């Protein structure tokens, strides 16, 4: 019987020792190497793309799938520490300031009356109030809306400036003080590794405003810029360099991202220039309504007031089938109207014009509900704020090329990992990127890469960017951080 | 005696029998302690399972065996390509058995057997990397079988009886690799059914070649459990409308409860073997063939129009078993054994709800005779699996789920043998 007791005791010992264990468990560390980098304190600096913003809002599950959060999850396999984020209070999105909503709720995909999916703002009450300041610091210092020079602007997190646009409601939530700057709050955490993706809004706000802002190239004082202006490339280079210096003061390494083309973003590529279907009768009727305008143009061309090219570009002609949208173009010659006043500066769009995603809900509707001939895009032109015309695109591309040269040059000079997000987004837009359950593309709502605001990625899109960052980091620093499986990350959210 | 016991524990580790798939080979303390052999071993009422033909050769008029096991199993998984890892936290499962035989006369015995040869309890962390295949599963089936054992001659007997099976299943997994509701909770489906019944049978034959040497064969039929009356619960889908919605090529079912149908085969098994006794020693050899090829797929068809098609494509597999017994004293019988258990899972079909590769089972145990009628039986099984890199390549989105798996199981058991 004594032996029997001994047997039972042995059994108990074996029981506790018999958990299955792999030969080389990832959990115990040691599978992945860090190379020359030190991921123990990773700080992410940037704009909405760093914060995890998606679907036109910042909400918790979006933040949990931010590219820095995904990166940090992989860094954690090689000595990376905890990664904190200034999480908002809900998955509704939207911001309140003292109880008043100042940022709208997120978009979700809902079925309309005919069963077709369309993006709508999620109903519900936003609960994140910016007067509730979080106690930081946070590893994720992404501030939606921030431009390059905002990161070094004292008071960008001062709630007093939110109403006038002098400060940023998202930074208000976690700025260390009212006169804090984003970059100082980041550098004060002594990052061992950082990411910096900034400069997108320096052109993007101009682009999403339909080019209604001003190209400030030549103006070196950003405090005089309007919200939708293009930042001077020298201002960009100067502040970008100072941000890199602030972060590399403590960091062993970092990863930087360049600025993608606006033409790779569904916000600018989804609505076609010829979005107007007409039958022959309606087309003839519309042409009749534009006969006077067309006749005046012909007269001015004959008289040499405008070129024949401008006449041809401006002559309105609708046919049976798909027709180009009528748009306002402020670069056209202002002409007196023989009937009094001036002729409208309008023409039909071409494939070179980019119609903003926001026009999809108004094209074809009546500007004046009582007037059946006021169809927007036909009888009533889309406004300047609805379209990026080629001249505006050129301004954007010129500034962007200069920013990108700065980013890549400073990355090289400082030995930083560089992510060519411009090339990545172009590839998504052109051919898509295949993964283990399909192809990720830029197609709005269904392509998988972009969220329902048409500008910001989905979790799967962010995961793909994180993987590209991991590739760049491993190449630059000789580390072996593993990539994530993007098929495990979600796309657009449906609500029904 | 003490030295012998400790040595056997360390050298042979100890044993429990786990067969591949969801077969749980734990049908008697004495058999398990000897490598789960017993098709030709005339010793106790455990024959009711291993070979009912042998019941008529038992010396006593009334024989009974009862017992249970605590199965402690765990599986570790990792994927070095992505850095993901997980480990099961499965609760102890408790297979049991109850056998009895009664000799009507010298040539005819009747018997009854209740046992649990199939089951699976696997609990992965909720929302783990493979949650689109399984979060947790619990399968159990109880076999109830009246038996008759008939001696044709002094050397030859046959036996068998109909089997009534009642089973239950509870299975939860996520809808796919990413779908959530608006709060970020993963969309998932739970199927639940109990009291799924069907009938089968087993038959056996035994041949006493000499006084010391016996041969046996036993066949247990395939039994298909068709689940028709269970419930399927869809939860955390971004659809509360009560009807499925279709967006592009994706159909999203509504949250709520619906019905489902599914079939789970409990495969047929053929065992042949021999037993040799000499002086204080017994040696058993058994070979078992399990006809797993019946398990082609696990298809769940939901009443709301959704379906889940999961190819399994199992292959028939073998178990090679050997066991030893030694009468250490009047009261103590020591046992030890070993078996090699082939996995029925083909490469590329390695799904984490039954992550079984080939295994080696080491068994040991003893019987302690308390009185003329009663003995206590104890056994221990340790199942050793090799680490294996495997994948399931038939996920419905076209992807593959795999990595390195390592399983382990150990099973202490205790039981009682009665004879009169």
pLDDT attached to residue B9:
33
Strands (E), A27-84: 42-46
- 3-state SS, residue B381: strand
| Nearest by CB: B387 against A23, A109, A117 | A23
- Mutual angle of helices A390-413 and A200-208, in 10-degree steps: 170
Helix (H, G, I), strand (E, B) or coil at A345: coil
Q: Which of A20, A108, A438 sits opposite B182 (nearest CB)?
A: A108
Lowest mean pLDDT, pick from A91-105, A107-121, A250-264, A287-301: A107-121
* DSSP 8-state symbol, A488: G
pLDDT of residue B19 exceeding 70: no
Angle between helices A459-477 and A421-430 (to 10 degrees): 140
Confidence of residue A4 (pLDDT cuts 50, 70, 90): low
* Contact: A496, B9; criterion CB under 8 Å: no
Helix ranges, B86-170 (H): none
Which has more pLDDT, B20 or B19?
B20
* Segment (H or E) for B200: strand B188-208
Contact B182 A91 (CB under 8 A): yes
Residue of chain B whose alpha carbon sits nearest to that of A489: B178
Angle at A282 between CA A278 and CA A284, to 5 degrees: 110
Task: Kindly tell me if the per-residue pLDDT of B17 is higher than 60.
Answer: no
A26 belongs to a structural domain: no
Of the candidates A464, A495, A457, A486, the residue with the CA atom closest to the CA atom of residue B183: A495
Q: At what angle do helices A233-248 and A390-413 cross, to 10 degrees?
A: 30
A384 and A394 inside one domain: no
Cα separation, A271 vs A261, whole angstroms: 17
Whole-number CA gyration radius for chain B: 23
Can you give the pLDDT at residue B247? 80
List the CATH number of the domain containing A202. 3.40.50.1110
Rounded average pLDDT over B108-128 = 95
CA dihedral B192, B195, B199, B205 (to 10 degrees): 90
A37 in any annotated domain: no
Do A258 and A280 belong together in one domain?
Answer: no
pLDDT in tens, A37-65: 999 999 999 999 999 999 999 999 999 99
What would the mean pLDDT of B136-155 be, rounded to a whole number? 96
A491 contacts B178 by C-beta, under 8 angstroms: yes
Q: How far is B216 from chain A (nearest CA, A)?
A: 32
The angle subtended at Cα A62 by Cα A59 and Cα A66, nearest 5°, is 130
> DSSP string of A115-169?
S-EEEEEPPS----BTTS------SEEE-TT--GGGGG-TTTT-GGGTTTTSS-H
Describe the crossing of helices A280-289 and A291-302 by its angle, rounded to 10 degrees: 50
Under the banding of pLDDT at 50, 70 and 90, the label for residue A17 is: low
Q: Does B382 touch chain A (CB under 8 A)?
A: yes
Q: Are residues A359 and A429 in the same domain?
A: no
Is B289 in the A-facing interface, judged by CB distances under 8 Å?
Answer: no
Q: Which residues of A371-452 form beta strands (DSSP E)? A: 387-388, 417-419, 433-435, 438-440
| Of the residues A362, A388, A414, the one at which a domain ends | A388
Which residue is closest to B2 within chain A, CA to CA?
A3
Whether residue A22 lies inside any domain: the answer is no
Chain B, 353 to 372: residues with Cβ < 8 Å from chain A are: 366, 368
CB contact under 8 A, A488 and B74: no
Range of the domain at A319: 276-348+354-388
Q: Residues A206, A229: contact at Cβ < 8 Å?
A: yes
Same domain? A152 vs A287: no
Interface contact A111-B5, CB threshold 8 A: no
In this complex, is the C-beta atom of B49 within 8 Å of any C-beta atom belonging to chain A? no
Looking at the fold, whether A365 and A468 belong to one and the same domain comes out as no
Is A271 domain-assigned?
Answer: no
Region A274-291 average pLDDT: 94
**Domain assignment present for A206:** yes
Strand pairing class (A253-257; A417-419): parallel
> Is B239's CB within 8 Å of A31's CB?
no
Q: Is residue A483 part of a domain?
A: yes
DSSP 8-state secondary structure symbol assigned to residue B56: G
pLDDT per residue over A466-478, tens digit each?
999 999 999 999 9
In a shared domain, residues A420 and A368: no
Same domain for A316 and A464? Answer: no
Phi/psi-derived region of residue B401, left when phi > 0, alpha when psi is between -120 and 50, beta in every other case: beta
What are B23's strand-pairing partners?
Answer: B118
Residues of chain B above pLDDT 70, percent: 95
B266-285 confidence digits (pLDDT tens): 999 999 999 999 999 999 99
Is B258 within 8 Å of chain A by CB? no
CB contact under 8 A, A493 and B248: no
The residue among A93, A247, A180 whose CA lies nearest residue A171 is A180
Mean pLDDT of chain B: 92
Determine, yes or no, domain membership for A18: no
A201 token code pair: 């809004």
Q: Are A485 and B82 in contact (CB < 8 Å)? A: yes
Closest-approach residue (CA) in chain A for B129: A488
Domain boundaries B2-419, corresponding CATH code? 2.40.160.60
Say which of A22, A91, A483 has its CB closest to residue B78: A22
Q: Is the per-residue pLDDT at B7 higher than 60? A: no
Predicted ipTM?
0.90
> In the prediction, which pLDDT does A20 show?
87
Cα Rg of chain A, angstroms? 27
Query: Which one of B80, B247, B378 has the shortest CB-CB distance to A31?
Result: B80
Helices marked H in A249-378 — which ranges?
266-269, 280-289, 291-302, 308-314
Across the range B337-357, mean pLDDT stands at 93
Question: DSSP per residue over A311-341, as a string?
Answer: HHHH-----SEEEPPEEE-TTSPP-B-TTSS
Cα within 13 Å of Cα(B251), Cβ side: 8
A384 and A401 share one domain = no
Token pair for A65 = 């799938």
The answer to whether the Cβ–Cβ distance between B398 and A437 falls below 8 Å is yes
Task: Look at residue A460 and tell me if it is in a domain.
Answer: yes
Would you kindly state where each structural domain of chain B is located, as residue ranges? 2-419
Three-state secondary structure call for residue B105: strand
Indicate whether A240 and A173 sit together in one domain: yes
Residue A452, min C-alpha distance to chain B (Å): 14
B216 close to B39: Cβ distance less than 8 angstroms: yes
Cis peptide before B186 (omega within 30 of 0): no
Tokens found for residue B163: 């089997």
As for how many domains chain A has, the answer is: 2
Mean pLDDT lowest among B87-91, B174-178, B218-222: B87-91
Q: Tell me the C-alpha distance between A158 and B300, whole Å.
A: 57
Chain A positions in Cβ-Cβ contact with residue B82 (cut-off 8 Å): 482-485
| Ranges A17-21, A259-263, A371-375, B107-111: which has the least confidence | A17-21
Chain B: closest CA distance from residue A60 (Å): 8
Q: Which of A27, A108, A490 sits opposite B85 (nearest CB)?
A: A27
d(Cα B405, Cα B388) in Å, to the nearest integer? 5
Residues A424, A482, single domain; the answer is yes
| A418, A361: one domain | no
C-alpha distance from residue B71 to each of A18, A470, B382 (Å): 12, 42, 10
Confirm or reject contact between B2 and chain A (CB < 8 A).
yes
Same domain, A397 and A382: no
Higher pLDDT, B21 or A215: A215
Inter-residue contact A41 to A24 (CB < 8 Å): no
Q: Concatenated DSSP letters for B234-270?
A: EES-S--SSS-EEETTEEEPPSEEEEEEEEEEE--EE
Determine the length of chain A: 496
Q: Count of CB contacts below 8 A, A vs B?
A: 143
> In A, which residues are within 8 Å of B363 by CB distance?
none
Which residues in chain A have Cβ-Cβ distances shorter than 8 Å to B76? 19-22, 25
């Amino acid at each position: 019987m004594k032996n029997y007791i001994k047997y039972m005791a042995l059994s108990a010992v074996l029981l506790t020792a018999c958990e299955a264990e792999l030969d080389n468990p990832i959990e115990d560390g040691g599978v992945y190497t860090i190379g020359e980098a030190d991921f123990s304190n990773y700080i992410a600096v940037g704009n909405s793309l760093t914060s995890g913003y998606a679907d036109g809002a910042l909400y918790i599950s979006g933040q949990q799938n931010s590219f820095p959060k995904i990166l940090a999850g992989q860094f954690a396999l090689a000595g990376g520490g905890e990664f904190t984020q200034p999480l908002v209070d809900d998955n509704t999105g939207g911001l309140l300031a003292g109880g008043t909503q100042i940022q709208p709720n997120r978009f979700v995909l809902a079925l309309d009356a005919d069963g077709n999916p369309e993006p709508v703002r999620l109903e519900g009450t936003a609960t994140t109030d910016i007067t509730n300041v979080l106690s930081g610091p946070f590893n994720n210092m992404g501030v939606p809306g921030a431009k390059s020079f905002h990161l070094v602007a004292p008071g960008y997190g001062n709630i007093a400036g939110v109403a006038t646009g002098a400060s940023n409601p998202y930074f208000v939530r976690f700025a260390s003080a009212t006169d804090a700057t984003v970059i100082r709050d980041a550098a004060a955490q002594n990052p061992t590794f950082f990411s910096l993706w900034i400069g997108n809004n320096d052109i993007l706000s101009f682009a999403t405003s339909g080019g209604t802002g001003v190209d400030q190239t030549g103006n070196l004082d950003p405090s005089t810029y309007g919200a939708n202006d293009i930042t001077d490339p020298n201002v960009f280079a100067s502040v970008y360099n100072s941000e890199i210096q602030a972060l590399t003061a403590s960091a062993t390494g970092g990863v930087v991202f360049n600025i993608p083309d606006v033409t790779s973003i569904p916000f600018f590529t989804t609505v076609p220039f010829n979005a107007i279907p007409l039958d022959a009768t309606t087309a003839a009727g519309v042409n009749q309504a534009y006969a006077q305008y067309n006749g005046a143009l012909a007269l001015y061309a004959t008289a040499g007031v405008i070129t024949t090219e401008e006449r041809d570009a401006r002559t309105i002609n609708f046919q049976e089938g798909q027709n180009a949208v009528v748009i306002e173009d402020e670069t056209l010659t202002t002409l007196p109207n023989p009937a009094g006043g001036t002729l409208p500066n309008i023409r039909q769009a071409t494939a070179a014009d980019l119609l903003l995603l926001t026009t999809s809900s108004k094209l074809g509707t009546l500007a004046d509900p009582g007037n059946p001939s006021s169809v927007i895009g036909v009888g009533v032109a889309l406004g300047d704020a609805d379209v990026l015309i080629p001249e505006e695109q050129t301004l954007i591309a010129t500034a962007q090329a200069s920013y990108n040269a700065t980013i890549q040059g400073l990355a090289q000079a400082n030995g930083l990992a560089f992510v060519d997000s411009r090339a990545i987004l172009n590839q998504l837009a052109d051919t898509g990127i295949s993964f283990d359950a399909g192809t990720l593309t830029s197609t709005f709502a269904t392509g998988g890469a972009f969220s329902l605001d048409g500008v910001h990625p989905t979790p799967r899109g962010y995961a793909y960017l994180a993987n590209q960052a991991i590739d760049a980091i491993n190449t630059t620093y000789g580390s072996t951080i593993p990539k994530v499986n993007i098929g495990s990350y979600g796309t657009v959210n449906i609500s029904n | 005696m003490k030295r012998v016991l400790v040595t056997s524990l360390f050298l042979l580790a100890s044993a429990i029998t786990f067969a591949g798939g969801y077969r749980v080979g734990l049908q008697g303390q004495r058999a398990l302690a000897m490598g789960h052999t017993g098709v030709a071993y005339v010793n106790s009422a455990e024959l009711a399972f291993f070979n009912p033909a042998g019941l008529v050769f038992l010396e006593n008029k009334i024989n009974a065996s009862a017992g249970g096991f605590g199965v402690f199993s765990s599986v570790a998984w990792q994927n070095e390509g992505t850095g993901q890892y997980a480990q099961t936290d499965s609760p102890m499962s408790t297979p049991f058995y109850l056998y009895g035989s009664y000799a009507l006369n010298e040539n005819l015995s009747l018997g009854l057997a209740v046992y649990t040869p199939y089951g699976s309890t696997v609990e992965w962390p909720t929302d783990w990397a493979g949650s689109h295949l399984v979060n947790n599963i619990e399968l159990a089936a109880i076999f109830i079988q009246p038996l008759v054992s008939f001696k044709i001659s002094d050397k030859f007997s046959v036996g068998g009886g109909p089997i009534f099976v009642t089973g239950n299943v509870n299975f939860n997994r996520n809808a796919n690799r990413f779908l959530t509701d608006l709060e970020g909770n993963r969309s998932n489906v739970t199927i639940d059914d109990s009291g799924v019944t069907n009938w089968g049978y087993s038959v056996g034959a035994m041949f006493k070649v000499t006084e010391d040497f016996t041969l046996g064969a036993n066949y247990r039929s395939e039994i298909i459990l068709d689940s028709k009356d269970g419930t399927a619960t869809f939860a955390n889908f971004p659809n509360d409308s009560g009807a499925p919605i279709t967006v592009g090529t994706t159909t999203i079912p509504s949250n709520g409860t619906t019905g489902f149908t599914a079939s789970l085969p409990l495969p047929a098994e053929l065992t042949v073997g021999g037993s040799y006794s000499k002086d204080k020693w017994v040696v058993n050899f058994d070979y078992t063939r399990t006809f797993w090829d019946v398990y082609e797929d696990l298809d769940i068809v939901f009443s709301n129009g959704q379906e889940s098609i999961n190819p399994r494509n199992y292959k028939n597999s073998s178990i090679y078993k050997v066991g030893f017994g030694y009468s250490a004293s009047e009261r103590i019988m020591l046992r030890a054994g070993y078996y090699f258990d082939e996995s029925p899972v083909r490469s590329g079909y390695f799904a984490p709800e039954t992550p079984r590769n080939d295994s080696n089972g080491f068994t040991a145990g003893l019987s302690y005779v308390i009185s003329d009628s009663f003995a206590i039986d104890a056994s221990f099984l340790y199942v050793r699996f090799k680490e294996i890199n495997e994948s399931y390549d038939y996920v419905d989105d076209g992807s593959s789920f795999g990595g390195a798996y390592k399983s382990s199981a150990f099973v202490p058991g205790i039981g009682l043998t009665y004879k009169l």
